[in-house]
Structure 1
Amino acid sequence: MTRPWYNILGGRYPGSEPCFYDSAALPWTKVLEDNWEVMRDELIALMEARPAQVRPYFINHAMSFPPRQWKTMGLSFWRFTMHANCRRCPETMRILKTIPGVTSCSLSILEPGANINPHQGDTDAIIRCHLGLVIPAGLPDCGFQVGPDIRAWEQGKALPFCDAQTHTAWNHSQARRLIMIVDVIRPEFRPQQNWVCAHVLASSVIQMTYQSAPFLNNWPGFVKRALYSAIRIAIHAYLPLQRRFR
């Protein structure tokens, strides 16, 4: 059985997934594109109604330059659901429920003059898709690079890619860039979906813990691995108990 790759193990992504996927081979991208204005309007209304929910990328605030200029507001994060936000976006939720294997959905905001530093995502078990909502400029001022391939976002267009590949983004325009990020688990990994989500959520908890308590970096590696394993098992047990995103 094919095993997902997880960033918690470290090292460059060794897999063969393409940098960008062909939207024509992913019918669910058309669902997003056909409904993008409805989802844009709900997400912007949510952002304006609940500004405190718009926060700098929470795992590593230094991921963007200048710092804290890459911001997010979530509906679901690896099947962990933000129910208050979801209730304010009923049409968006209805649309997403028609797409099998959705694990995450969020609004991503890149402020004017900001860059997102090159990084790898958490796993190759999902296809991550950027849906352009408000794109203030095209290339070269505003763009996205995965591996050696550079693309421009377009309003109302889906841009699916492999999050495990090294990627970076920039917005050198004078206005905010808004996209919706949707993660869809690859069909071959759907039987493992809760384990995939538990792995990634556990990794996020570990990263935030080590950032808030740097002295933990002095602990032996086996302690970190044991802590990661315990958190992953606890999250896997919890996920089926929460009120489902779907």
Structure 2
Amino acid sequence: MQSSPVDDPQQLNRMATRALAARAPAEALQLLRHAVGLDPADPAIRLNLAAAHRALGDLSGALRTLEGALTLDPRMFMALLMKASVLERLGRTREAGRAYGVALTQAPGDAALDEPTRRALKHGRDIHRLHLEEQREFLRQRLYRRAASRAPAQAGRIDHFLDLALGLRKNYRQEPTHFFYPDLPVYDFLPNELFPWLPALEAETASIRAEALELLATSRNVVPYVDYPDTVPLDQWAALNRSPDWSAIHLYLYGEPVAEHTAACPRTMAALDRLPQPHVQERSPAAMFSVLRPRTRIPPHTGVANTRVVLHLPLVVPGDCGFRVGNETRPWREGKAWVFDDTIEHEAWNDGDQVRIVMICDIWRPELSEDEREQIAELMTGMDLFMETPPASL
């Protein structure tokens, strides 16, 4: 084909698309060169021209053409994805890994893509991940030349820094819904060493479990954990609002003991009394047995205040249960407590066939002085008194 009598660039582009589908890339190349000459500012025509070069095995020509398309539209997803694949075929592995990462930043949802593009995108994710892991290993070798003199906590921070720099972890932050106290350290799970009383609490697991199971079998006051009024927008809580799939047996509710339950749980209450729980009028302490039914998921969310952290003591844990805070996912283990910052995004699931039961309570942030704790409690109480309305929770 020597020339085309057609002078409409969009018609030429459509004709070339049909030629590419019919595996006639040479014909498509001629049509698209003519179309680019008529409309050099259309990046979509250049994208098809690059596809024709690629189909003919001219990878260098495809790359040059893609650069032209991206000069016109630097965020053009299909051009970015094709550029990465061409670099990969050229054997420019590290450049391809980085280019796939750029393409991923512009990728639409998979539902908007056809099946071949979804496969190409999945391949791109895999290559980009391998690229980042190779880069991490290269950097770790450099960073750990002096590892023998590095304290474990410092090594953990360096690893975290490295993964954040490479985008292998998301930078989760404290995002309390109501109360943010500044300059507190950010942990997903707090080090157990900050809570020297944890082993004594764990030693009470069997007694606490027995009291929880007895209450679950006999109490008439097992309530939905999520219970919002109709006037509140539910968003991610719609499926669980007023649902028995996630229930609570409250021991303290809005700072007051639930007499029916506390009387039935002397060992549990004695264990709770030894913990540094906040005491804020009509807000805390707060403690409960959390009951999650089989095949139930608690959606990602954040808590109210970073002035306290949350303790979990797992009592009944079937298989296929898990818990994520920020970047870290852990399985519950019966009798092994942990403390986490619930103002960092977290979620939980029970994919097993039995209920999961965890004792949950709030405790003060260990970094806060007694004076700070008193001032925080005073501020919260004062806000409630000013509004003359009961608070939702701490």
Q: Indicate whether the TM-score tops 0.5.
A: yes
TM-superposed CA distance for 1:58, in Å, is 3.4
TM-superposed CA distance for 1:196, in Å, is 7.0
Show CA shifts across 1:37-95 (max 9, x none). 11111111122121x21111134486375662111110013422212211111111112
Q: Alignment partner for residue 144 of structure 1, among 310, 319, 323? A: 323
Q: Alignment partner for residue 192 of structure 2, among 20, 23, 27? A: 23
Correspondence 1:89 to 2:89: no
C-alpha change, 1:163 and 1:66, in structure 2 (3 Å) is: closer
Show CA shifts across 1:190-232 (max 9, x none). 32464476599x6xxxxxxxxxxxxxxxxxxxxxxxx983326
Q: In 2, distance between residues paired with 1:58 and 1:121?
A: 13
* Equivalent position SS for 2:267: helix
Letter in 1 for 2:259: H
Q: How does 1:177-192 map to 2 (within 5 A)?
A: 177-187=356-366, 188=368, 189-192=372-375
Correspondence 1:115 to 2:297: yes
C-alpha change, 1:155 and 1:228, in structure 2 (3 Å) is: farther
C-alpha change, 1:169 and 1:148, in structure 2 (3 Å) is: same
Q: Alignment partner for residue 222 of structure 2, among 29, 48, 54? A: 54
- Structure with bigger helix share is 2
Q: In 1, distance between residues paired with 2:291 and 2:375?
A: 30
Bigger CA radius of gyration: 2
CA contact (8 A) 2:323 2:349 kept: yes
Q: How does 1:221-236 map to 2 (within 5 A)?
A: 229-231=387-389
1:169 corresponding residue in structure 2: 348
C-alpha change, 1:148 and 1:46, in structure 2 (3 Å) is: same
CA contact (8 A) 1:29 1:158 kept: yes
* Equivalent position SS for 1:73: strand
Which structure ranks higher in relative contact order (CA pairs < 8 Å, sequence separation ≥ 6)? 1
Q: Alignment partner for residue 44 of structure 1, among 200, 208, 213? A: 213
C-alpha change, 1:71 and 1:79, in structure 2 (3 Å) is: same
Q: In 2, distance between residues paired with 1:167 and 1:228?
A: 32
* Equivalent position SS for 2:289: strand
Structure 1, 144-153 or 17-26: larger mean CA deviation: 17-26
Q: In 2, distance between residues paired with 1:170 and 1:87?
A: 30
2:307 corresponding residue in structure 1: 125
TM-superposed CA distance for 1:34, in Å, is 1.1
* Equivalent position SS for 1:8: coil
CA contact (8 A) 2:226 2:240 kept: no
TM-superposed CA distance for 1:17, in Å, is 2.2
* Equivalent position SS for 1:19: coil
CA contact (8 A) 2:179 2:305 kept: no
1:238 corresponding residue in structure 2: none
CA contact (8 A) 1:120 1:167 kept: yes
Q: In 1, distance between residues paired with 2:324 and 2:217?
A: 29
Structure 1 unaligned residues grouped into runs of 5+ = 203-226, 236-246
Letter in 1 for 2:178: I
CA contact (8 A) 2:226 2:237 kept: no
TM-superposed CA distance for 1:168, in Å, is 0.4
- Structure with bigger strand share is 1
Letter in 1 for 2:389: I
Identity among equivalent pairs (%):
28
Q: TM-score, normalised by structure 2?
A: 0.46
CA contact (8 A) 2:179 2:306 kept: no
Structure 2 unaligned residues grouped into runs of 5+ = 1-173, 229-233, 279-284
| RMSD of aligned alpha carbons | 3.3
